[in-house]
Amino acid sequence: MLDLAWIREHPEEVRRGAARKGIDFDVDALLALDEERRQLIRLQEQAKAEQNALGKQVATLQGDSKQVALDRLKVLKGSVKEHTARLTPLKKKIQELMFACPNPPAEEVPDGPDDSANVELRTWGEKPTFDFEPKDHVELMKGLDWLEIDRAGKLAGSRSYVLKGDGVMLEQAILRLAMDLIVERGFTMLSVPVIVKEWALRGTAYFPGAEEQTYRIANPTAEDEDFWLVGTSEVSVTALHSGEILDEADLPLKYSGISPCFRREAGTYGKDTRGVYRVHQFNKVEQVIVDVADDAKSREHHQAILQNAEDMLQRLGLPYRVVAVSTGDMGRGARCKYDLEAWMPGREEYGETHSATRFRSYQARRLDLRYRDGDGKVQHCHTLNNTVIASPRVMVAFVEMHQQADGSIRVPEALRPYLGGREVLGA
């Protein structure tokens, strides 16, 4: 969420930002409601001030003068009540528009309608050339008895899977390598709730907009709101200190959440249906930074969390590319976003494995996440996040990249300590 006072001062920047993102947002409607709200507040405050002053005088008045004052007090009381009644729905409308207002993208973000306008910044690693007929991850993992899809579908429907044997051990080894890497970089590991209240999703800017992608859990207790399953631990981790005023001396907070993640994948019918590239449930290690409101520091953090993810893919021996995400593909809340895409031989293309995003204070304002600076001034924090690793999608790239002619899978050196020193799986 943006600062309403800032929107009043920079309406053209908000209009331009919305247009660059391809989001239809009526800045003028918001400003008109805001002006009406401020006018009502002025009238309400004037009525209250007169009411208070006249109330003190009543005891000193007599006769007709006192009656006139009492009649006036009755009118003022009605005015205050009327203004309050008009303000309540008005504030609600303004809040709804504020939540819908997009975060203007940074100037360096490439313009475009969707992911076709994303710009490749750099690549790492060599795409493989095989001296045998390579298999895709489904053939490889089924051949090794690591993967069940049909039986998983019987249990949980399409886009479900069961990992077996060394497939489970490989997934856990990759997750553990990711945790050790991110802890080396000064992050504190968190195991967080994956069932959250709606405010956490609104606060992290997933709502409004991603409701159809999110699993809802009906709450039988009528007094409380429904719960939702998170699509990333970013929601729980970023919202952890909501409503708090942090001490600047304690910043930055560097957290890494490990959790299962759940996504409905609505609107992707018929897309990426083979294997485990696009599934409803997966495991992920996430990195989140909360720091002071300083653009230069946010940019430094952005590059650092991007590098953490690149280092993870390099340790796994996976060629990848870094792309700058275009305005039409970055979402309502992002200020700037980079994707990492690993090479997947079975698809003969790069596939997204990471998204590194900075928000400035957009999430923090929605979460009321603040800090007190050295001068005693309370300000909203800046937030950022990026994947460290997500499974099973990374396993698609991993088994396809490291396959051998006999169907076995080579294990890169960095991963061997987590697999009992084994250099090959499925030999």
By 3-state DSSP, what share of the chain in percent is helix, strand and coil, each rounded to 5?
45, 20, 35
Q: DSSP letters along 309-344, please?
A: HHHHHHHTT--EEEEEPPGGGS-SS-SEEEEEEEEE
| Among candidate residues 350, 328, 324, the one with its CA nearest the CA of residue 337 | 324
Catalytic residue, candidates 8, 278, 315, 347: 278
C-alpha 378/C-alpha 367 separation (Å) is 14
352 is known as an active-site residue: yes
15 is known as an active-site residue: no
321 is known as an active-site residue: no
| Among candidate residues 318, 48, 272, 349, the one with its CA nearest the CA of residue 178 | 318
Catalytic residue, candidates 298, 355, 361, 391: 355
355 is known as an active-site residue: yes
Handedness of CA 414, 420, 422, 427 (dihedral sign): negative
Catalytic residue, candidates 13, 36, 211, 352: 352
C-alpha 355/C-alpha 360 separation (Å) is 16
Catalytic residue, candidates 332, 360, 365, 393: 393
Q: Which residues contact 423 (CB under 8 A, 6 or more apart)?
A: 410, 411, 416
Catalytic residue, candidates 20, 263, 360, 370: 263
C-alpha 336/C-alpha 350 separation (Å) is 21
326 is known as an active-site residue: no
Residues known to be catalytic: 263, 278, 352, 355, 393
